[in-house]
Structure 1
């Protein structure tokens, strides 16, 4: 008999019994079925489960599965805090769970233990680096985090189903699951009661709230070519004191910066404050998701780079200038901070935030091309084209070989690498090692409780 994947709908989804092994990057655990590796979600190491195969093509190197029943539970398993994301409840109801809370069935302490094991494995296997030698002592909890790990998201994105209900996607699927409250979000997000708005005909709804409170910004993403006025109708139903903007675009998500930002009411930006500086972040711009992340990461970067007056630094993948502003203050008028960001809208935010700071040079463009060009121009103007230090906070895919090479050629003595993905961090670490750098110190922060994600801040120095 040939077994097909669920998406092929050629046969009933296959249920298999699995003994769960080690945790794996991406929110899975590893199991084996008849010699085949199976990546299983919503399980814990040591458990015996029944799991539904979601990807099981015979020619595939590995399969994927979702837990639907626990036969022998781990001592670290707890009831899931969010019904929409509870895999066992979803299976009983004949639907898929929403993504974004895939560790919610585990005790918080055990979640952090699993993340630490995953980080260690990625660093050793992909980075060829011993994390103990860099002082890794386990996943840290930021000061001020809630004991239950909830209420931390200041940004949230929702889809809208055909019935006009607020919804979220299932993992690796186009299936939409209606939702109401989102327990991971700060109270101000849920207080909007977005699920009560007239959303039929809209594509997405995105909401952002300042980390220190204040009026939220809501983005209504209209279907390309859809009937006009739908976002206006939803905006009028929002409570007073809420800014609302519609984005009309062709494909992608509202946060891509693609499309036209159209103000419906209020303002189209948020005011943020971190590291002693104020920032303006537009609806198409980028800011850290966790309410404590900006201050926590800025403090770690400043500690790593230890900036001094007159130094020449670079803030790469700089966003709205979170790190650029305090670094520019530290190096003073005699120094330089080269701030490079690829997204046009986010780079415009940085220009506004750093206006009047002459030692901050904001440049928009791809890091691997823009850094070399900017340093060459500086050399031609009489400088030496070198840097004393660099901070980089690349997207989940990492910096890549070309960017690493360009950074190394600038000769910084210290590099602070902020990463939201342990696999890309480890791969880039191996590339930096080939360029003559070693990992001196590393911290792993749990800025995404109840998910598999983690934030890393590593200090690299010339070997």
Structure 2
């Protein structure tokens, strides 16, 4: 293997695959092609021929462009550059914004059909302000890497090569202004730049000790570490809070049940549930990061029945299943469970235990459509069906899409 790497071939690309890569065929073999748009004919350079079943390639010239192709929003990622020198992190930046959402819809719908047998006509909703801004200026946080000369930039796609840049157009104006493009950094691997809604923009250099910041969502403030997780799009915390509130079926919600917010972070979604159902709402947020749990305890202090526990979700659920009393099992069966897992999804064990605990409803916040579809299929084995689904374009000019789903028992 390796004899075809670097060879340029002509390909017709027909569809988009999970991960935002277009799909073509060469002599019957699948070729995944970056920087192409379905419907195009391109010249692509083979970058990986190690697999018998598929190869990888990068578009280098467009012979027949799609009507949806646009000049890339980030010159550092333009098709005019050598593929090894293209900045990663904006892999849909050459596609019209409305068509990006259509491609994301296709990926989500295909995953649900293929993995869960569900036909879906869900639309991907754009965020306020993104149309006018052409999907730019939404990131309130960025992570840049440091090269051997101390320069900062993103990594190239599927590479550990750092691409020095002088702009980050997906970042908010405050983040862009605070990014030290011309400085040199030695002895650290990363430079994070963030602009919280309260206070000034700041840098986090490498493994710097965390400090506490505050983020505002509607009328509520949340404390968290500047090194901790927070939704990146400026509108995402408010949009997801509202989407979760809408997704909870109030006919199935019992404020006295053992309601759960799993992978709860600093308590954003638990607070959304509490705000909808009132100060006596009982809800426990479970999060493996101890500092995030400490912040969640403070952020959820308005609710008498709210608690935050530090534990891996799978272990916490395993313990609940094994040790819950009959009364506790009844409260879990009456519960609403909010799930916001990492990109890998909740997975077999977590979904299996939830199926056996049989809560009244599961509200699943997903940042990966394939993981969501897999977990919906796992839930179906325990008698749950998908009866509510929304999708949001929280990551314009990238392939990522967020979804909020509700699962209820048949």
What's the TM-score, normalizing by structure 1?
A: 0.83
1:197 corresponds to 2:183:
yes
Give distance in 1, aligned partners of 2:200 and 2:108: 37
Match of 2:106 among 81, 102, 117: 117
Root-mean-square deviation (Å): 2.1
Give distance in 2, aligned partners of 1:89 and 1:171: 15
Please say if residues 340 and 371 of structure 1, whose CA atoms lie closer than 8 Å, have aligned partners that are also in contact. Answer: no
Name the counterpart of 1:242. none
Give distance in 2, aligned partners of 1:46 and 1:404: 38
Please say if residues 275 and 299 of structure 1, whose CA atoms lie closer than 8 Å, have aligned partners that are also in contact. Answer: no
Please say if residues 281 and 303 of structure 2, whose CA atoms lie closer than 8 Å, have aligned partners that are also in contact. Answer: no
Once the two structures are superposed, what CA deviation does each residue of 1:222-261 show, in whole Å capped at 9, x if it has no partner? xxxxxxxxxxxxxxxxxxxxxxxx52xxxxxxxxxxxxx2
Give distance in 2, aligned partners of 1:155 and 1:362: 25
| SS of alignment partner, residue 14 of structure 2 | coil
Please say if residues 209 and 270 of structure 1, whose CA atoms lie closer than 8 Å, have aligned partners that are also in contact. Answer: no
Q: After the TM superposition, which residues 19-58 of structure 1 pair with which residues of structure 2 at under 5 Å, given as runs?
A: 19-57=12-50
Give distance in 1, aligned partners of 2:238 and 2:360: 24
| SS of alignment partner, residue 201 of structure 1 | coil
Name the counterpart of 2:350. 403
Name the counterpart of 1:15. 8
Once the two structures are superposed, what CA deviation does each residue of 1:278-331 show, in whole Å capped at 9, x if it has no partner? 101102321111110011011111111135543431101111100112323444
Q: After the TM superposition, which residues 172-191 of structure 1 pair with which residues of structure 2 at under 5 Å, given as runs?
A: 172-191=158-177
User: What is the CA distance between 1:275 and its match in structure 2?
Assistant: 4.9
Please say if residues 257 and 331 of structure 2, whose CA atoms lie closer than 8 Å, have aligned partners that are also in contact. Answer: no
Give distance in 2, aligned partners of 1:346 and 1:142: 27
User: What is the CA distance between 1:375 and its match in structure 2?
Assistant: 6.4
| SS of alignment partner, residue 308 of structure 2 | strand
Name the counterpart of 2:221. 278
Give distance in 1, aligned partners of 2:271 and 2:218: 8
Cα distance change of structure 1 residues 161 and 460 upon mapping to structure 2, 3 Å threshold:
same
Give distance in 1, aligned partners of 2:94 and 2:277: 46
Name the counterpart of 1:84. 76
1:347 corresponds to 2:339:
no
User: What is the CA distance between 1:29 and its match in structure 2?
Assistant: 1.0
Give distance in 2, aligned partners of 1:149 and 1:334: 40
Aligned residue-pair number: 405
Give distance in 1, aligned partners of 2:278 and 2:309: 19
1:317 corresponds to 2:263:
yes
Please say if residues 285 and 349 of structure 1, whose CA atoms lie closer than 8 Å, have aligned partners that are also in contact. Answer: no
Match of 1:287 among 205, 230, 246: 230
User: What is the CA distance between 1:194 and its match in structure 2?
Assistant: 1.3
1:391 corresponds to 2:384:
no
User: What is the CA distance between 1:130 and its match in structure 2?
Assistant: 1.4
Moved more, 103-112 or 367-376: 367-376
1:106 corresponds to 2:101:
no
Cα distance change of structure 1 residues 382 and 155 upon mapping to structure 2, 3 Å threshold:
closer
> Gaps (5+ residues) in structure 2?
none
| SS of alignment partner, residue 121 of structure 1 | helix
Once the two structures are superposed, what CA deviation does each residue of 1:363-419 show, in whole Å capped at 9, x if it has no partner? 111112202424666637867351421110100000011101222233222211110
Cα distance change of structure 1 residues 377 and 350 upon mapping to structure 2, 3 Å threshold:
farther
Name the counterpart of 2:204. 219
Name the counterpart of 1:430. 377
Moved more, 442-451 or 197-206: 197-206
What's the TM-score, normalizing by structure 2?
A: 0.93
